[in-house]
């Protein structure tokens, strides 16, 4: 059983008051998320990531298609006992304290009073809220609200959590803590589905990603697979490399750039066309010694930008074509 | 049921901490206390005047509380998006609406109770100023428990107004909800006149329309038995029952409507 | 799911409407009693409370006045007293001093004696005197005061004085001056009364005002017919020597052709030699004539 599964999930809005035109927020999204993985749902602003999450939480209703969570259709109230959700830019209730908020949410799951208190206390420690927990939420900074948001999402030890921009508003220390929290969740067997437009987080955390652009899925799969064949170049670190050997290599075109790291110790950037073993043997013949040879792969950002650029442009045009086709 | 009571308690807690509410209730209690001073000015009519003022204050302040909290109940959650996190928990949409309503009902009950206690305290204190002879002339005792019937009906009326406010709050902005709720309250006071409209209009069609509307639009005048309790006139039990049933039926209608609208709503 | 909620909604709506109907039948909290309807008794206080809604409130009190009057008229209670009519009309006209119809309604129906009305000509006059401050058609109100004096108080000097006063207002019709003269000369006579009511019937634009005047005219016609019938009965008695037992006797004697019927359609009664209106006739009670003219 997949943790999350969608089939041709679609959401159209009608925009405009006098002559409403259809607007495609999400176009036939089909994807699945396996249990226990950390799945990154990426895309530029306005791609439809939040729309997808809202469809999964049944905050909005789909125009077409379906979605299941843990094998049950979305909207099944029992399944909500086993999931958690952090909305983007969360706002809670000004006049409650952090403790009271978590108590309130915990009470909705039916825990006994003592159990609630225990959970709330542990959670607040885990997300790093100390004595502020007795302050009213209206006094919280954005970063602290974000932590409270994460806490409320995991108050019920969920099997699947949905995070919408979990790192937003956090300073680097905070981001690191949350990254570690996500990894801890994964280690506990929780499936983590998160939306982000911060790719570096996805790169470090996710096993699989999907990229959404203008309502459509443009790529999905294991991170390593997506980036595997896109080698942009090589980095060859050598020591004992003399200046003439370096000049030769540069003149011939083997080396695009050389960065000195010490006396006769260089990190060489080789262009992708170069055959790295040949360059290695030539330089070794001139007396240099190998330290390391690493392929430079395309980053997720490069991949991302490339995918987005190829994505179809006009959302309304797409709809009228498909409608005509039906 | 547990979910509904959790939501209700939460609404109650939130409204208790709302400064506006404190202000309103405090002011009302103060007014009731101050009515004692007004009573001093009117030679012997004190008790009646204080009862009149007190009951009117409870009705009026209750109305403001009902409307201003009621209209924000749903709208604020949706606008600020706190509803996103809430609905991702095992909360059904209708449980959310019912919980909100019950929370506000509880708030109203507490506020009305506070004002009632203030009123009775003032009346009991005033009672000590009069001789037995003077008291014999009164139609009803000063701290008359019979007034609780009027206050009970006032509370029921406020609950209907709240149901209206909640209903509008599920789909329109607070400003519009307030306008509609107040407007309906005013129309509801003159429901009987609407029914008699056909006596003064030429066109029978207008008369029928007015009569039909008077059945559908709320009739708030029936909840007003202030005069009866102040003059100790009898109120038939059957009439109390009918009025209570009417209020409850209207509340049920409005809540069902609110649930129906809320259940299929997209939260953009 | 959708239709289940729809059914529940329809049922609840039906319950609401049904309970409302029950309440209407029960009569509401204080059906008909003074206190509730006039929670604010004083017109001055009401004017202050009304803020800028005086005209709307005037309309609402007008509706209640008409409803109260109609309800009291239709009710079978022999003791009905129309107590609220004057206070309600007073409130109506205080809130909206130009509410012409309310004044005229008061003129006609406040002075009407029981069981048709409260019989308070003084209240009618008090109401109308306030109307004289209106910006137009004052002649109509002055004339109405005149006819209240004429018809209900039988004070022909006052009536003539008011008709003359009415004639001086702008827009007054020409017949007011001869009406004043006739009233002074033979006030209470059927001719002058007929003149008064004919003019009112001709110029009134409210339906009930006109039909009230026509009603009076029919009463006057009935009085004339009664006189003629009495003369016929007297002639029969002188000829035959005894009073006729019924209309058949007179018909056989050739004095009448059919059963005489009053202007409202009810047959006249002949009993024990005396002619009178049928008790069920809507023309009852006939107005009394002043002694000096009979």
- Say yes or no: A140 contacts chain B, CB-CB below 8 A: no
In the block, residue with structure tokens 């308070």: C120
Listed residue (B61, B151, B160) closest to B105, CA to CA: B160
Give the relative orientation of helices B93-127 and B46-80 as an angle to the nearest 10 degrees. 160
Instruction: State mean pLDDT over B137-145.
Output: 77
Instruction: State mean pLDDT over C224-234.
Output: 86
Domain ranges for chain B: 2-263
> In this predicted model, what pLDDT tens digit does every residue of B59-98 receive, in sequence order?
888 898 888 888 877 788 888 888 888 999 999 999 999 9
* DSSP 8-state symbol, A240: S
Which residues on C lie below 8 Å from B260 (Cβ)? 5-6, 9
Q: Which residue of A has its CA nearest to B14?
A: A95
Q: Which CATH number fits domain A4-227: 3.40.640.10, 3.50.50.60, 3.40.50.620, 3.40.50.300?
A: 3.40.50.300
Residue B210 distance to chain C (closest CA, Å): 13
pLDDT (tens, 9 = 90+) of chain A, 326 residues, equals 788 888 888 998 887 778 878 888 888 899 999 998 999 998 888 888 889 999 999 999 999 999 999 989 988 888 999 999 999 888 888 888 999 999 999 999 988 889 999 999 999 998 888 888 888 888 888 888 888 999 999 999 999 999 998 888 788 888 888 888 889 999 988 999 999 877 778 888 888 999 888 888 888 888 777 766 567 788 888 888 888 888 888 888 778 888 888 888 888 888 877 788 888 888 888 888 888 888 787 777 777 777 777 765 655 544 444 444 44
Interchain proximity A105–B89, CB inside 8 Å: yes
DSSP A207-230: SEEEEEETTEEEEEEEHHHHHHT-
> Roughly how many angstroms between the first and final C-alpha of chain A, as a whole number?
32
Residue B79 distance to chain A (closest CA, Å): 10
- Say yes or no: B56 contacts chain A, CB-CB below 8 A: no
Interchain proximity A149–B80, CB inside 8 Å: no
Interchain proximity B197–C63, CB inside 8 Å: yes
What pLDDT is stored for residue B139 in this prediction?
73
Interchain proximity C26–B238, CB inside 8 Å: yes
- Strand A160-164 to strand A191-196: parallel, antiparallel, or no bridges (unpaired)? parallel
The dihedrals phi and psi of C167, each to the nearest 5 degrees, come to: -65, -20
* DSSP 8-state symbol, C286: P
In the block, residue with structure tokens 């019979």: B146
Interchain proximity B87–A58, CB inside 8 Å: yes
Contacts of C209 (CB under 8 A, 6+ apart): C104, C108, C200
Highest mean predicted confidence (pLDDT) among A102-106, B135-139, B173-177: A102-106
Instruction: State mean pLDDT over C11-26.
Output: 88
Interchain proximity B6–A104, CB inside 8 Å: yes
pLDDT bucket at B195, cuts 50 / 70 / 90:
confident
Listed residue (A83, A2, A72) closest to B88, CA to CA: A83
B23 Ramachandran zone, left/alpha/beta (phi>0; psi -120 to 50): alpha
DSSP C4-22: HHHHHHHHHHHHHHHHHHH
CA C264 from chain centre, in angstroms, equals 17
- Say yes or no: A100 contacts chain B, CB-CB below 8 A: yes
Do residues C126 and C106 lie in contact, with contact meaning Cβ atoms separated by under 8 Å?
no
Interchain proximity A91–B81, CB inside 8 Å: yes
Of C5, C17, C30, the CB nearest to B228: C30
For the sheet containing A72-73, what is the strand order?
A: A21-33, A4-15, A64-69, A72-73
Task: Render the burial of B232-257: b for 16+ CB within 10 Å, e for the rest.
Answer: ebebeeebeebbebbbbbbbbbbbbb
- Strand A4-15 to strand A21-33: parallel, antiparallel, or no bridges (unpaired)? antiparallel
> In this predicted model, what pLDDT tens digit does every residue of C180-228 receive, in sequence order?
887 877 767 787 788 888 888 887 777 788 888 888 888 888 888 888 8
- Taking the C-alpha atoms of residue B219 and residue B262, their distance in angstroms, rounded to an integer, is 26
- Taking the C-alpha atoms of residue A209 and residue A207, their distance in angstroms, rounded to an integer, is 7
Of B6, B82, B92, the CB nearest to A107: B6
The dihedrals phi and psi of A213, each to the nearest 5 degrees, come to: -145, 125
Residue C2 distance to chain B (closest CA, Å): 8
What pLDDT is stored for residue C27 in this prediction?
67
- Taking the C-alpha atoms of residue B210 and residue B190, their distance in angstroms, rounded to an integer, is 12
Instruction: State mean pLDDT over B185-208.
Output: 83
Rounded (to 5) percent helix, strand, coil in chain A: 40, 30, 30
Question: Whats the size of chain A, residue-wise?
Answer: 326
Rounded (to 5) percent helix, strand, coil in chain C: 65, 5, 35
- Say yes or no: B19 contacts chain A, CB-CB below 8 A: no
Mutation for testing the A interface, residue in B7, B87, B90, B100 having most A CBs under 10 Å = B90
- Say yes or no: B92 contacts chain A, CB-CB below 8 A: yes
Which residues on B lie below 8 Å from A72 (Cβ)? none
What pLDDT is stored for residue C291 in this prediction?
52
Question: Whats the size of chain B, residue-wise?
Answer: 268
- Say yes or no: A309 contacts chain B, CB-CB below 8 A: no
Listed residue (B228, B63, A241, B9) closest to A254, CA to CA: A241
Identify the residue with better confidence: C125 or B17.
C125
State the DSSP H helix or E strand holding residue A85, giving kind and residue range, or none if neither.
strand A83-86
- Taking the C-alpha atoms of residue A179 and residue A173, their distance in angstroms, rounded to an integer, is 10
Residue C60 distance to chain B (closest CA, Å): 7
Interchain proximity C21–B190, CB inside 8 Å: no
Interchain proximity C12–B253, CB inside 8 Å: yes
All CATH 3.40.50.300 domain ranges of chain A, comma separated, are 4-227
Global ipTM: 0.81
DSSP A176-193: HHHHHHHHHHHHTT-EEE
Residue A203 distance to chain B (closest CA, Å): 27
Of B13, B89, B266, the CB nearest to A61: B266
Which residues on B lie below 8 Å from A152 (Cβ)? 85
Which residues on C lie below 8 Å from B225 (Cβ)? 29
Domain ranges for chain C: 35-135, 216-293
Of C6, C20, C35, the CB nearest to B227: C35
Mutation for testing the B interface, residue in C9, C11, C12 having most B CBs under 10 Å = C12
- Say yes or no: A113 contacts chain B, CB-CB below 8 A: no
Question: Which of A260-269, B11-20, C59-68 shows the lowest per-residue confidence on average (mean pLDDT)?
Answer: B11-20
All CATH 3.30.70.3100 domain ranges of chain A, comma separated, are 231-297
Interchain proximity C24–B193, CB inside 8 Å: no
Residue B30 distance to chain C (closest CA, Å): 23
Torsion of CA B103, B105, B110, B116, to 10 degrees: 170
- Taking the C-alpha atoms of residue C154 and residue C108, their distance in angstroms, rounded to an integer, is 15
Residue A275 distance to chain B (closest CA, Å): 54
Which residues on B lie below 8 Å from C12 (Cβ)? 249, 252-253, 256
Of B18, B84, B91, the CB nearest to A87: B84
Cα–Cα distance list, A75 to A11, A57, C154, C206 (Å): 16, 7, 85, 66
CATH number, span A231-297: 3.30.70.3100
Q: Which residue of C has its CA nearest to B198?
A: C63
- Strand A4-15 to strand A64-69: parallel, antiparallel, or no bridges (unpaired)? antiparallel
Give the other-Cβ count within 10 Å of B194's Cβ. 21
Q: Which two tokens stand for residue A241?
A: 């490399």
Query: Do A and C share at least 3 CB pairs under 8 Å?
Result: no
State the DSSP H helix or E strand holding residue C196, giving kind and residue range, or none if neither.
helix C190-203
Give the other-Cβ count within 10 Å of A189's Cβ. 9
- Taking the C-alpha atoms of residue B72 and residue A120, their distance in angstroms, rounded to an integer, is 29
Interchain proximity C9–B196, CB inside 8 Å: no
Interchain proximity A77–B80, CB inside 8 Å: no
What pLDDT is stored for residue B260 in this prediction?
92
- Taking the C-alpha atoms of residue C159 and residue C174, their distance in angstroms, rounded to an integer, is 17
Torsion of CA C27, B218, B97, A116, to 10 degrees: -50
**Mean per-residue pLDDT over chain B, rounded:** 84
- Say yes or no: A138 contacts chain B, CB-CB below 8 A: no
Ranges of H-type helices in C38-154: 43-49, 54-74, 85-95, 100-111, 121-131, 138-148
What pLDDT is stored for residue C35 in this prediction?
46
> In this predicted model, what pLDDT tens digit does every residue of B100-132 receive, in sequence order?
999 989 988 988 888 888 888 888 887 777 777
Contacts of B71 (CB under 8 A, 6+ apart): B165, B168, B169, B174, B177, B178, B181
Chains in contact with C via at least 3 Cβ–Cβ pairs below 8 Å: B
Which residues on A lie below 8 Å from B80 (Cβ)? 91
* DSSP 8-state symbol, A299: P
Instruction: State mean pLDDT over C279-294.
Output: 69
- Taking the C-alpha atoms of residue B72 and residue B170, their distance in angstroms, rounded to an integer, is 9
Interchain proximity A109–B266, CB inside 8 Å: no
| Position C133 pLDDT exceeds 90 | no
Residue C16 distance to chain B (closest CA, Å): 6
């Amino acid at each position: 059983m997949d943790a999350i599964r969608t089939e041709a999930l679609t959401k159209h809005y009608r925009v405009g008051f006098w002559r409403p035109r259809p607007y495609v927020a999400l176009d036939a999204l089909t994807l699945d998320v396996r249990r226990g993985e950390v799945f990154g749902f990426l895309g530029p602003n306005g791609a439809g990531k939040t729309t997808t999450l809202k469809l999964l939480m049944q905050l909005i209703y789909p125009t077409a298609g379906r979605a299941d969570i843990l094998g049950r259709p979305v909207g099944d109230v029992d399944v909500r006992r086993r999931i958690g959700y952090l909305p983007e830019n969360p706002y809670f209730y000004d006049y409650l304290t952090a403790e009271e908020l978590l108590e309130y949410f915990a009470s909705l799951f039916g825990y006994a009073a003592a159990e609630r208190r225990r959970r709330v206390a542990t959670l607040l420690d885990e997300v790093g809220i100390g004595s502020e927990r007795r302050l009213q939420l209206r006094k919280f900074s954005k970063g602290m609200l974000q932590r409270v948001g994460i806490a409320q999402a995991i108050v019920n030890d969920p099997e699947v959590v949905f995070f919408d921009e979990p790192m937003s508003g956090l300073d680097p220390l905070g981001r690191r803590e949350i990254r570690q929290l996500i990894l801890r969740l994964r280690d506990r067997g929780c499936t983590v589905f998160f939306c982000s437009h911060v790719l570096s987080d996805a790169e470090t955390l996710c096993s699989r990603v999907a990229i959404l652009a203008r309502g459509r899925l443009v790529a999905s799969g294991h991170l390593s697979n997506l980036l595997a064949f896109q080698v942009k170049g090589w980095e060859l670190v050598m020591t004992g490399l003399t200046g003439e050997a370096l000049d030769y290599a540069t003149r011939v075109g083997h080396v695009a750039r050389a960065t000195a790291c010490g006396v006769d110790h260089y990190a060489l950037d080789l262009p992708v066309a170069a055959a790295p073993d040949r360059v290695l043997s030539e330089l070794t013949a001139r007396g240099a010694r190998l330290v390391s040879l690493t392929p430079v792969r395309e980053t997720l950002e490069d991949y991302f930008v490339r995918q987005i650029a190829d994505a179809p442009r006009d959302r309304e045009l797409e709809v009228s074509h498909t409608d005509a086709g039906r | 049921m547990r979910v509904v009571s959790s939501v209700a308690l939460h609404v109650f807690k939130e409204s208790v901490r709302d400064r506006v509410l404190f202000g309103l209730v405090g002011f009302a209690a103060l007014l009731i206390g101050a009515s004692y001073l007004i009573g001093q000015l009117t030679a012997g009519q004190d008790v009646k005047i204080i009862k009149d003022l007190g009951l009117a204050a409870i009705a009026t302040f209750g109305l403001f509380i009902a409307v201003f909290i009621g209209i924000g109940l749903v709208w604020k959650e949706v606008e600020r998006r706190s509803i996103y996190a809430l609905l991702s928990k095992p909360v059904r949409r209708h449980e959310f609406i019912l919980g909100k309503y019950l929370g506000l009902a509880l708030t109203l009950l507490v506020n009305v109770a506070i004002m009632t206690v203030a009123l009775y305290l003032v009346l009991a204190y005033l009672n000590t100023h009069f001789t037995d002879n003077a008291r014999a002339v009164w139609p009803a005792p000063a701290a008359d428990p019979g007034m609780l019937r009027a206050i009970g009906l006032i509370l029921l009326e406020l609950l209907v107004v709240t149901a209206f406010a909640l209903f509008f709050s599920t789909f329109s902005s607070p400003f519009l909800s307030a306008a509609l709720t107040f407007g309906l309250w005013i129309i509801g006071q003159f429901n009987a006149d609407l029914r008699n409209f056909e006596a003064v209009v030429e066109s029978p069609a207008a008369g029928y329309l007015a009569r039909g509307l008077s059945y559908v639009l709320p009739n708030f005048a029936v909840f007003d038995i202030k005069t009866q309790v102040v003059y100790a006139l009898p109120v038939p039990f059957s009439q109390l029952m009918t009025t209570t049933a009417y209020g409850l039926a209207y509340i049920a209608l409005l809540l069902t409507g609110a649930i129906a609208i809320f259940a299929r709503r997209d939260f953009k | 799911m959708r239709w289940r909620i729809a059914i529940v909604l329809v049922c609840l709506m039906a319950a609401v409407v049904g309970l409302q109907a029950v309440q209407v039948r029960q009569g509401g909290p204080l059906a008909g009693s003074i206190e509730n309807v006039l929670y604010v008794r004083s017109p001055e206080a009401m004017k202050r409370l009304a803020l800028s809604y005086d005209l709307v409130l005037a309309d609402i009190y007008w509706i209640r006045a008409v409803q109260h009057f109609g309800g009291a008229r239709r009710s079978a209670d022999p003791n009905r007293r129309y107590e609220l009519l004057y206070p309600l009309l007073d409130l109506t006209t205080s809130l909206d001093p130009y509410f012409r119809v309310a004044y005229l309604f008061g003129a006609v129906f406040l002075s009407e004696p029981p069981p048709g009305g409260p019989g308070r000509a003084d209240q009618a006059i008090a109401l109308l005197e306030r109307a004289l401050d209106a910006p137009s058609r004052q002649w109509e109100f002055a004339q109405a005061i005149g006819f209240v004096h004429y018809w209900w108080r039988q004070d022909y000097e006052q009536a003539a004085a008011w008709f003359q006063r009415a004639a001086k207002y702008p827009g007054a019709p020409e017949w007011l001056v001869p009406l004043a003269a006739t009233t002074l000369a033979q006030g209470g006579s059927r001719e002058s009364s007929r003149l008064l009511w004919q003019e009112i019937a001709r110029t009134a634009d409210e339906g009930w005002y006109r039909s009230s005047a026509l009603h009076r005219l029919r009463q006057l016609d009935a009085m004339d017919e009664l006189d003629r019938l009495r003369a016929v009965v007297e002639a029969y008695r002188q000829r035959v020597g005894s009073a006729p037992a019924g209309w058949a006797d007179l018909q056989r004697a050739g004095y009448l052709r059919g059963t005489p019927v009053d202007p409202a359609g009810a047959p006249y009664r002949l009993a024990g030699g005396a002619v009178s209106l049928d008790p069920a006739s809507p023309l009852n009670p006939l107005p009394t004539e002043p002694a000096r003219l009979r």
